[in-house]
Each structure stands twice: as structure tokens, then as C-alpha cells.
Amino acid sequence: MALADKKHTRMYSTEGSDGDKVGSEKLARLGDTFASNEYIIDDGQFEMLAPVLFQMQKMQDELESLRKHLVDDVGDGATGATGARGAAGTNGTNGTNGTNGTNGTNGSAPPMHHMDGSTLPKRAGTKGSGLLWNNRGVITIS
């Protein structure tokens, strides 16, 4: 809540040359009459000032109440109390899946070795028979 504009105006000034300026002599007199309770003791002054004094005392009580609240509940303002943590907000929706990356290129095929069969080992047996044995059977090599 924002602070509303003030509604009061000053009662008198102690500086400058305004028409509501109270000089140091009058200011001392105001202080003396207050300190000596003249405004209460003098029945004439009291009757005239009673409504104003009544309201001013209410204002003073209210200011003391605000002061107590500020000291007790708010503190000096240097470090305020931490409030409760609020509820977690909702999570956003998941983003779309990204596309798959492209496949890399295949490397070149290994070099082909051409064999004509002349260098393959032969099975022991008839010399020059041209047969090659493996685990599946006989291979004829020309």
C-alpha cells in the first residue's frame, strides 16, 4: 500500500521570513509555557485549548503505537524477516525433439587383393593336383 499524501500543514516556521515565522523569543516562550504546564493550569487557556489538546494527545498516542509497531515488528530496517516461501510455479511444456543428425560418409573400401591360386598352399598328396582343402571341402584351383 502506498503512502498517501500528507494532509496537515505546518503550524509555524522557525526559519526564513514567512508570515507564520515564530522568532526565537516567541519559541522560547512557547517552550516555557509548555514546560510549566501553563496551558493546563490556567483555566482560561485550558478551556480554550481543551479540544485541540484532546486531539493532539490522541495523535501522540497513535504515533507512539506506530513507533512501537515499527520497533517491535518491523525492526531497524537493516535486516527484515524472511517470509515463507511461496508455492512452486507450474513447469512449462517440453520442447520439441530435435532432428537426428546426418549419417557420416562411409570410408573407402579396403584394397582388393587378387589371387590366382598359384600362391595358395596345396594339400599334401598328389603333386600338382590343384586341389585346396578347407573345412568345407575341396576347392579346385585352376
**Whole-number Å distance between alpha carbons of 21 and 5:** 24
Specify the pLDDT at position 1. 60
CA dihedral 79, 83, 85, 86 (to 10 degrees): -130
* Contact of 120 with 133, CB cutoff 8 Å: no
**Whole-number Å distance between alpha carbons of 130 and 66:** 117
Neighbours of 126 (CB within 10 A): 9
**DSSP bridge partners of 13:** 21
**Whole-number Å distance between alpha carbons of 41 and 32:** 13
**What pLDDT digit, counting tens, does each position of 17-69 carry?**
888 888 899 999 989 988 999 888 999 988 998 999 899 899 999 999 988 88
Q: What is the pTM of this model?
A: 0.40
**What pLDDT digit, counting tens, does each position of 96-115 carry?**
887 887 887 787 777 766 66
3-state secondary structure of 134: strand
